[in-house]
Amino acid sequence: MTMSMQEKIDKLVRSEIRALTAYHVPPANDLIKLDAMENPWSWSAELRTAWLDALQSVEINRYPDPSARQLHASMRAAMAVPASAAVILGNGSDELIQMIIQTLASPGRVVMAPDPTFVMYRQIATVANMGYVAVPLQTDFSLDEAAMLAALEEQQPAVIFLSYPNNPTANLFDAGSLRKIVSRADGLVVIDEAYAPFTDASLMPDIGDYDNLLVLRTVSKMGLAGLRLGLLAGPAAWLEQIDKTRLPYNISVLNQVTGRFALAHADILAAQAREIRAQRAALISGLQGLPSLTVFPSEANFILFRTPRGQATALFEGLKTAGILIKNLDAPGGPLQDCLRVTVGLPEENAVFLAALRELLQAD
Ligand SMILES: *Cc1c(COP(=O)(O)O)cnc(C)c1O
């Protein structure tokens, strides 16, 4: 008896995995790319030359330093990690989310997060065979503290993920609510600060105050999305356990040298973040000046807005035809119905986007 390949797949691959769709990123081709929260500035020729010089010293035939000590020091300084906190580096913060979940995964245990939020929490929990509890945000996308606390009591999640600011809604949750959740939870609470460069808010200084608070950072949104480098900070006893799930040499020699080089020029990235914050304010007022849009507040490098009922997909497609790629979040009946998300780009890209959107809204 031989099974067909499809029968073998159906028999061996868990149904939850078969039901997933792989993380999909549409090709940007020659479009103006305002869909993925990237920093729009690339490096100067001078900086590139200095970087390539730094790479000359890489011994590509050798395994990297398994604990990436020098890069640890650069990352701790760049992210202002309290001296008392321990740190793990990941191949992007996505890998750290995966390591946290793998450390806690066990049948019947659940991961909890508000909804809508970053899709990888659910995706990674599902792959790890864990349950996932999504607690709806309020209609203005603020955290429903009472609902979170009730769900926490009832579900006893092994870990709660809170994106701060939240992707894809761009707002900050109330810090008092976050601290209340951390103190009530028996499980871990991970504050995911991927958008830290674009806000003054952070729970990084709170790490020493709780025994279950972890803070996640990444260099991706600050201008190094191509590098794949994230940082997890928290109590040493927790990180010692989580570090056991890390594959050896997860940070390549190229990443270690490039990360150190880039963070030695952190002033350039910080200046770009300040410029992105200024452009964000301009883009928000530009969007507010267009007819019939609802623009949500942003503490990140992207802006969520709601279009008139039923028009989001047509506007998204119209922008694409005009050469601009943003993100369509519209899902009929869901909390993001009629919503689009635009990443803050170069001043001229933002202007082209606003002009095209104005034209599409007027043509309607
Ligand atoms: C983009 C993003 C990440 C992923 O960051 P990488 O370091 O690029 O893996 C994590 N969390 C949130 C909330 C994000 O928006």
Tell which atom from ligand 1 comes closest to the C-alpha of 218. Answer: 7
Phi-psi region of 40 (alpha: psi -120 to 50; beta: other; left: phi over 0): alpha
The residue nearest atom 11 of ligand 1, judged by CA position, is 194
336 close to ligand 1 (CB < 6 Angstrom): no
| Residue 103 Cβ contacting ligand 1 at under 6 Å | no
Alpha-carbon gap, residue 104 to 111, rounded angstroms? 9
Residue pLDDT, tens place only, 11-42: 999 998 999 887 777 777 889 999 999 999 99
Q: For residue 108, how far is its CA from the centre of ligand 1 (angstroms)?
A: 27
Q: Pick the closest to residue 256 from 44, 66, 45, 50 (CA basis).
A: 66
Count of CB atoms situated within 10 Å of the CB of 290: 16
Domain boundaries, the chain: 13-44+267-363, 62-264
Beta carbon of 161 within 6 Å of any ligand 1 atom: no
> 0.85 exceeded by the pTM?
yes
Q: Which residue has the tokens 């949500």?
A: 296
Give the residue, by CA position, lying nearest to ligand 1 atom 5.
Answer: 93
pLDDT of 22: 76
Report which ligand 1 atom has the smallest distance to the Cα of 163: 13
Cβ density class 177-202: b for 16+ within 10 Å, e for less? bbbebbeebebbbbbbbbbbbbbeeb
Q: Which helix (H) or strand (E) holds 188?
A: strand 188-192
165 close to 143: Cβ distance less than 8 angstroms:
no
Q: Which of 39, 97, 120 to mutate to test the pocket of ligand 1 (most atoms within 8 A of CB)?
A: 120
pLDDT of residue 26: 75
Cα 6 to middle of ligand 1, angstroms: 34
Q: Is 113 in contact with 91 (CB distance < 8 Å)? A: no
Q: Please state which CATH number belongs to domain 62-264.
A: 3.40.640.10
Residues of the chain under the 50 pLDDT cut: none
Question: What pLDDT was estimated at residue 307?
Answer: 97
Give the Cα separation of 326 and 323 in Å (integer): 10
Which residue has the CA at smallest separation from atom 1 of ligand 1?
A: 194
Ligand 1 atom, smallest distance to 166 CA: 13
**pLDDT of res. 364:** 60
Task: Quote the pLDDT of residue 194.
Answer: 98
Residue with the smallest CA separation from ligand 1 atom 2 is: 194
Q: What is the CATH number of domain 13-44+267-363?
A: 3.90.1150.10
* The length of the chain, given as a count of residues: 364
